[in-house]
Amino acid sequence: MRPPLIAGNWKMNGLLKEARDLATGLRKEIGDNAGGPEVLVCPPFLALAAVREILDGSPIKIGAQDVHWEAKEAGCSAVLLGHSERRHVMGETNEMINRKLKACLAAGLLPIVCVGELLEERNMGVTREVVERQLAKGYDGLTPEETARTVLAYEPVWAIGTGKTATPRQAEEVHHYLRKLVTQKAGEAVGKSIRILYGGSVSPDNVKDLMAEEDIDGALVGGASLKVDSFLKIVRYKS
C-alpha cells in the first residue's frame, strides 16, 4: 500500500505575513491529520524559516522548491526537483537534476522529481519518449535502494497554471508507464512502492477522480494550495 502524499507548491506567491497566515490556518485545520494523507508544503525560499517555525511539531512537512548540489541547510525534509519552470524557464538540464537528486539523497532529503511534456510534444505523440528520457537521465547512477527513497511527479507542462488538466485516464496512462520504467530500472518491489504524484491544475473538483486511478498516489498542487479552504478540500479528498 502506497501512502498518498498531497504537496502544495506555493511558488513565489505571497509575502511573509501571507505565508505565516496560510501556515497557521493549515496547522489549525489539519490538526493531527489522523488517517489522512501525508501533507507537505513548499513555500518560497524567503518564507521557509517562518513557515518552519509555525509548523514545527505538526504533521505537515516542509519542502523547498529547489536545491543546489552543494551542501546547504534550511530545515526542510523534502525538495522539488525539475519543476517545469526550472526546466523550461531556467534551462535546467536532466544532468543538473541528476546532480541535485544525488545531493538530496546524500543529505537525507526526500526528492520529488518532476517530469512532463510540453504541449507540442503531447501533440506530436512523444510523451512517453520525453518522460522516459527525463527519468533515465535524471535517475542515472542511482541504486534500487536510492530510487526507492524518491517520489516522482508527473506534470504535463501544458496543464500547469493554464486551468487545463489531463483527464484521469491521460494521467493514469503516463503514471502507469512511469511505474513500468521504474520497475525495469530498480525492480518490481521498488516499482510497486514508489509514489507518483500528479501535478497540473489539481483542484477540489478533480482530485477525487484523479486519486481513484490505480497509479496516482497523490497530488502536487499549485494555485489551489494558496488558500486554506481549497487545499483542505484536496487533502480531504476521501471525505
Q: Which residues are catalytic?
A: 83, 155
CA–CA separation, 185 and 182 (whole Å): 5
CA–CA separation, 188 and 125 (whole Å): 27
C-alpha angle 75/154/198, rounded to 5°? 80
> How far is CA 213 from each of CA 131, 135, 170, 209, rounded to the nearest angstrom?
19, 21, 10, 7
Rounded to the nearest 5 percent, the helix, strand and coil shares of the chain are 45, 15, 40
Question: Quick one: which of 6, 121, 104, 115 has its CA closest to 64?
Answer: 104
Helix (H, G, I), strand (E, B) or coil at 186: helix
CA–CA separation, 133 and 190 (whole Å): 19
C-alpha angle 194/108/35, rounded to 5°? 50
Q: Which amino acid is at 90?
A: M
